[in-house]
Structure 1
């Protein structure tokens, strides 16, 4: 979407809410895709670990030097970057909505849209993404 803050501020309330809904939908879809890729990568690592011979150190080193794992890890990092950029758009739209004096759309206040990138927060929150 990539609208500027000025363009968002000039939109009517209906257009702004529609942009917010579309941004949130895209965010959720990309987050699901990223999380699915992350789970697949973990599964591949686990399968590779159990299928290898040697001690734990040797197995972990074999996983670390695997070209396939490295490539999939890079794809995952790129997906996370795209997801973070989309989160910025969602946040900007929510800020514009709040600046107009309206309360933020349901589900935005206090919600962590960042995903599971911060394990120290996941343990305390009591809920998962």
Structure 2
């Protein structure tokens, strides 16, 4: 693969990564909004409200969709990283913008305490 093709592949993978990350973050925000709306709309104490939100089939389904989106985002991140490694090993300048950015950034389910 020529350097031009490699850079084009890098740019395309990077574009897809950013688009998927935006979609995942938007989906995450919508899910948080639905959880909050359901919590406020429920009756009872805090524990009963949290239980109602936790056992909601709709929220469970949307949570699964969010996990699948995160998995796809992780796979795209791997593609971007591999192409960046190849560019660096060929002696080209290291692509900027990806270092330090992680697909799990801001993901409370996957971050440590």
TM-score (norm 1): 0.80
RMSD over aligned Cα atoms: 1.5
What 5-or-longer segments of structure 2 have no aligned partner? none
Q: Which among 79, 100, 120 is matched to residue 69 of structure 2?
A: 79
Where 1:92 maps in the other structure, the secondary structure is helix
* Distance apart, 1:116 and its partner CA: 1.9
* Distance apart, 1:35 and its partner CA: 0.5
Q: Which among 82, 89, 92 is matched to residue 92 of structure 1?
A: 82
What 5-or-longer segments of structure 1 have no aligned partner? 1-10, 122-129
Match of 1:8 in 2: none
* Distance apart, 1:100 and its partner CA: 0.7
TM-score (norm 2): 0.91
* Distance apart, 1:106 and its partner CA: 2.1
Aligned residues: 110
* Distance apart, 1:119 and its partner CA: 5.0
Q: Which among 37, 56, 60 is matched to residue 47 of structure 1?
A: 37
